[in-house]
Chains A and B, each alone.
Chain A
Amino acid sequence: MKRIALTMIALALAALAGCSRDDSAGPAAGRPRIALIYKATTNPFFQAMEAGARAKAKELGVDLDVAGIESETDVDRQADLVRNMLSRRAQAVIIAPASSVGIVTPLLRAQQQGVPIINIDNRIDKDEAARLGLRVATFIGPDNFQGAKSVGDYACRLARERPDGGRGGVLILRGIDGVENAEARRAGFEAAVKEAGLALAGSQSANWHTEEAQTVTAALLAANPQASVILCANDKMALGAVAAVKARGRLGQVVIAGYDNIDLAREAMSRGEMHATCEQNPARMGALGVQCALAALRGETLPEVSPVPTQLITPDDVKTSK
């Protein structure tokens, strides 16, 4: 037993010594190796992202290594994965960070090895990156402005076709003010309302929450009882708006739109309570991640942000897909 153990250790050490650090880095044969590191492996959003990335990698002839952590927040384990993928000689890293601050330090290792970093989904903290000198090739995120604009366009058009012609005006429920995606969605909604020539009757933040949205909507409806459209920066708030409209007995007379395409919103649409939402297209985000990684490897300069087009979802889509 003892001798076997000692022999094996000796062999392992010898192999370790013989296989010293390989500095002849760089791809041996053609196919580039790219790593996708994400979080929340059980979340359908990220599973769709992985599927999109894998399909694109296959199409482009890229070796894609995919690794993820089960939780949303385990920074230490995700940092391990970054280093493990570097050990596998990843030449570019696509990362959906578990922590926008905490991922910076582990990524510096990648940067030092000349590995370009593509940021996806959750944006790396700009201040921390600047402070530690981390350069990110590009950030791939959904185009929140365009998404909200398309939802707003559709909802306003629907309202104009109705008997009241949308003359009751539009209410907007905003996300948390100051947060990047909340501001972009607000701008998209406002642009749509202006373009449709409808009146903006009221606009308030409900901080993404369903219950808060219900109270806020109730208050806005008290001031504008004839409102024709309610545009909500996420589906959860749209569900709160549905409840408030229901309480006033006007369900069906108000066009209610949300954002995110969550299951509850799809159900509300199939019941005719909601009229539009927005799908963020995680699969396209994954695919674009692979494309951007390849471009970065070729030495191309990428834009600071690479927005991913979103997709308008209406009750018709819900009926056909389920």
Chain B
Amino acid sequence: MTDLRTRITASRAMGLLAALAALVALFSALSAVEFSTGAVHQPYFLTLDNAVEVGGSCAINLILGVGMTLVIIAGGIDLSVGRLMALALVVQVVVTNAAGSLAAGLAAGLAAGMAVGLANGLLAVRFGIPSFIVTLGTMMISRGGAMLVAGGKSIGCAVHAPLAVQRFMPIAVALAAAAVGQVLLAKTIFGRHVFAVGGSLEAARLCGIRTARVRVLTFLASGLCAGLAGFIYWCRNGLGDPLAGDGYELYAIAAVIVGGTSLSGGRGSVLGTLLGALIMGVLQNGLNIMLVQPHWQYIIIGSVLTATVLADRLKSSEPPL
């Protein structure tokens, strides 16, 4: 079973890499065309600057996606992460301003993320409420909570991230989160349990796996990731915006699904999510930089998401549901 799982993931990863390379090639070509017609002074897509830009702009999506991957593989879903990120963010900024210490703020922000994540897990697992409903509720609670903590408006932060931190911290943290998530899933007993629980809850329970604990831990991890994402939002934008994160949970789910993780659980990888987030990030960056209207951007990104899943379905030998 493990073999089959990794084989699927490996071929998937190759497909995603090819898609990513194709996108990079496409946007490079388009920017080169624009350059050759004299519309711009230099080709602008394939530059180190812009590569750093893409990395920075996918960072939040990737971090949320890492937590989401764990939750989804274990058979759940976490809709709260976008708004939870905003809650953790404003907690971080308020505490940083009050205590005059970024470390204290960061700790408080991460704690807020983990607290809500833990609550998600306990409510969904201990009381058997579908995680979709639980996290829909905590999404709204987090949104209101963020407004309450921030006093209903964006708050500036007493500590200011230097430019290098703004640019490189998001990438470093996102890659670290992905690495930890990948190792956790692929190399540890906990990871094996996550797959087992998502594959068949009953079978996992009969094998003696403490399924409740495993599932709660995935939600806790997702909450922690939301807290980390809040930190990255601060790095990039330098303020506590209680309205941040609108719809980010859906982007995270999209990255996870494009990355080949099965929404029905039991199958997937963080590596796939990394590639999924990169594809979405490159797409978004390329469309922005080519001045494509936001309306078209939604249509194009949505089409890519749907097409990926469709391609999967056509390749798969399983009968459609």
Q: Which residue in chain A gives the minimum CB-CB distance to B19?
A: A5
| C-alpha spacing A68/B38, complex, angstroms | 24
0/1 per residue, B149-175, Cβ < 8 Å to A?
A: 000001110001101001000000000
Interface size for A (C-beta < 8 A) is: 55
Contact A89 B28 (CB under 8 A): no
Residues of A with Cβ closer than 8 Å to B?
Answer: 1-2, 4-6, 8-9, 11-12, 15-16, 19-22, 27-29, 33, 41, 63, 65-71, 73-76, 79-81, 83-84, 86-89, 99, 101-102, 104-106, 108-109, 112, 125, 127-128, 131-132
Q: Are A9 and B46 in contact (CB under 8 A)?
A: no
Q: Are A33 and B40 in contact (CB under 8 A)?
A: yes
A132 close to B236 (CB less than 8 A): no
- Complex CA gap A19/B24 in Å reads 14
Q: At the interface with chain A, which of B138-146, B241-249, B300-308?
A: B241-249
Closest A residue to B239 using CB positions: A102
In Å, the complex CA distance between A318 and B246 comes to 39
Evaluate contact between A76 and B288: CB separation under 8 angstroms: no
Tell me the complex Cα distance, A105–B243, Å. 17
Q: Mark B43-70, 1 if CB is under 8 A from A, else 0.
A: 1111111110100110010000000000
Q: Which residues of A contact B98 (CB under 8 A)?
A: none
Closest Cβ–Cβ distance, residue A308 to chain B (whole Å):
25
Inter-chain contact count A-B, CB under 8 Å?
A: 139
| CB–CB A99/B239 < 8 A | yes
Residues of B within 8 A of A (CB): 11, 14-15, 17-18, 20-22, 24-25, 28, 38-51, 53, 56-57, 60, 154-156, 160-161, 163, 166, 233, 236-239, 241, 243-244, 246, 284-285, 288-289, 291, 293-295
Q: Is the CB of B163 within 8 A of A112?
A: yes
State the CA gap A41–B285 with chains docked (Å): 18
- Bound complex: CA A312 to CA B160 (Å): 44
> In the bound complex, do residue B244 and residue A75 qualify as a contact, i.e. CB atoms below 8 Å apart?
yes
In the complex the two chains form, is A5's CB within 8 Å of B18's CB?
A: yes
Known: A21-B48, A71-B246, A89-B44. A9 touches B17 (CB 8 A): yes
User: Are A79 and B237 in contact, with the CB atoms below 8 A?
Assistant: yes
A88 touching B243 by the CB < 8 A rule? no
Residue of B nearest to A2 (CB): B14
Q: In the A-B complex, list the 6 residue pairs whose CB atoms are closest, starting with the nearest.
A: A105-B238, A8-B21, A5-B18, A84-B288, A28-B41, A102-B239
Closest to A17 in B: B48
In angstroms, Cα B156 to Cα A125, docked, is 10
